[in-house]
Structure 1
C-alpha cells in the first residue's frame, strides 16, 4: 500500500506540475520540470504524512529510500558509538584518517542512515574520509535533549577510540545541522576538545520559526511553518523553544571552531542559515555562508540525477576538506 501511495503521489504531482507550467511557466525561473516536480512531490508527501503518528511518518520516509551508485562505492558497517546506534560509510577505494560525524535531518522526528545514506555516502566519497552516521533517538518518544546527549556520547566515543579532535568535522542537514551546532556548544561547556569545525546544510536553529523566510519562501519550499511548528512541539516536549541547546540561535557560540553553512535562497530555513552565520561571526568564529540561488531545502539530498545536488555536495565536500586541513585542537 505504501509503495502504491508513493507512485500515485508522484504521478499526480508530475501531471499537476506539467499542467501548471504550460499555463504559467516554471514556479521559479531556473527550475527544470524534473526539479519542480520533485519539490511538488516532496511537499505533497509532507502534507500527507504530517498528521500521522510518528512511527507511520518514519515508515513512510524510509520507503522513499532507494539504492544509489554512491552506496555501491562505500562499505557500510554498523557500530555502537558509545551507546548510540551508528553506521560507518567507508570509501571502498580507501579512506583517510579523518572522520565526518554526520547528523541526519528529519525535524527530530524521522530520518536515519537509511534515508540519508546516499548523501552520507557521497560525502564520504567527496571528502575521502570515513563518515559516521548517527541514528540518534527521535521525538516524540525521545524529546529534547536526547539527540544532543546522543551526539555528545558518540563524539566522546570517537575520541576514546584514539581519533584526534582535529581529524573530525561535524556535518548535518536541517535538524541535524542545528544539532551539530548545539552539540558543539554542549561539548564546549563540558570542557571536551572540539572538532576541527562543522559544515551544515540548511540548519534549523530557531524552533520558534521566527525568520521571515519561513513565510516568504513557503510557496516554493517543500514544507511550511505549520509543519515545522508541529514537529518542533514534538521535539521540545514542553521545553522552551528558546532553550539554547534546542535552538542554537539563542546559544552563546563563543569558542566554537570554524563553521560553513550551506543554504538555498528559496528555502524556509534561509534566514536560519543567514542569522546563525552572522551570530557566529559576531562571536569571533570563522564562519562562511554559501547561498545557492533558487534552491529549496536540502537540495543536496536530491541525488546524482540533479546537477544542482551534485555541484552542491561537491562544494560542501570541498569546504569539509578545507576544515580538516586547517583544523587544529579546540579546547573551547
Structure 2
C-alpha cells in the first residue's frame, strides 16, 4: 500500500460527516449517502428477494449463472446500513467469485434490539434452504456487525443441529460486544474509521442492558461444528482482537480457519478495492475462498 493510497482514504473519511456514534436517524441517511458512490457494475443484475419474512437483494452476473449462493449481511454497527448500502462490496465479490450473492435486510436496533438481527439471519437461511438450495452450495458472509450476525447465525444452526453451509467469510467482524479486546486501546490512534466511544453507544442501542453484552456476543458462543472460515482484518483496527480471538476460539473448537491480516489496513478495507492495492488483493483471496468452497 502506498502512502498516497492510505492518505486518500484517510482524507475521504475525515471529510465525511458520518459519525458512527451519532444520532441514529441522522447517521442512517449519511451512511446510505456515503456508500451510494460505489456504482453497481453494468455486468451484474440486482433483483429483490424474499426468504420467509426477510427481504434482501440478489446480485447476479448478467451473462452467466453464478455457482452457489453467498448469504451476505451488511455492516453498520447493528443500527445502520441496508442491503442496498452493501451493493458495492457485494457486487465486487459476486464478480470475482462468479457466484450469486443475496444481501439481507435484517432488522436494526434500537427499534429492534438483540436478538432480532440473528433471528432474521436464521429465518433468511432457513428460507433459502427451503427454496431448494443445497446448504453445501451456500457460503455465509458478512462485514463488521454483519460478520457478527453471520457468526451468530452459524452458532444458532450448530446449537439446533441444522445443516451447515459450506463455509463462512468474515470481513472485520464485530463479535465481542463487551469491547474487551486489547486492540480497543492499542489500535485507537491508528484506526480512523471506528472508535470505542462510537461502539459503546451502539452496544447500548443493540443490547439495552449492557450486562447482557457477553450473552449477545457470538465470540463467546459454542463454536463447535462450524464450517471452514476465512477471517480478513486490518492490523490498524480497534476490532483487530475480535478477529484474532475468534480465530483462536475456532481453532480450539476444531474448526478449519484462516486468519488473513493485512498490515496497516483499516476497517472493512476491502470496500476500497478499486483504489487500494492491498484491498484488491484481499478481495481476490476472499473470492477464491468462496469459489473453492462452492465448486460442484
TM-score, length of structure 2 as denominator length: 0.94
**Range with greater deviation from structure 2 (160-169 or 232-241):** 232-241
Residue-by-residue CA offset, 1:77-96 (whole Å, 9 max, x unaligned): 01122111200000112123
1:230 aligned residue: 201
Aligned pair count reads 294
Give the 3-state SS of the residue equivalent to 1:115 in structure 2.
helix
How far residue 178 of structure 1 moved from its aligned partner, in angstroms, is: 1.3
Larger radius of gyration: 1
Shift of 1:304: 1.2
Superposed displacement of residue 48, structure 1 = 4.1
2:104 to 134, 148, 151: 134
Equivalent residue, structure 2, for 1:277: 247
One of 33, 36, 44 as aligned partner of 2:4: 33
Residue number in structure 2 paired with 1:178: 148
The alpha-carbon deviation at position 49 of structure 1 amounts to 5.7
Deviations, residues 245-264 of structure 1 (Å, cap 9, x unaligned): x3111111011111111011
1:242 aligns to 2:214 (yes or no): yes
* Unaligned 5+ runs, structure 2: none
Check conservation: 1:165, 1:194, Cα contact below 8 A: yes
In the alignment, structure 1 residue 158 sits paired with structure 2 residue 128 = yes
Aligned to 1:143: 113
Give deviations 1:183-210, integer Å, cap 9, x for gaps: 1111122222110110101111111111
Counterpart for residue 51 of structure 1? 22
Q: Kindly provide the CA deviation profile for residues 223-274 of structure 1, in whole angstroms up to 9, marking residues without a partner as x.
A: 211111111111112261111xx31111110111111110111111111111
RMSD (Å), alpha carbons = 1.8
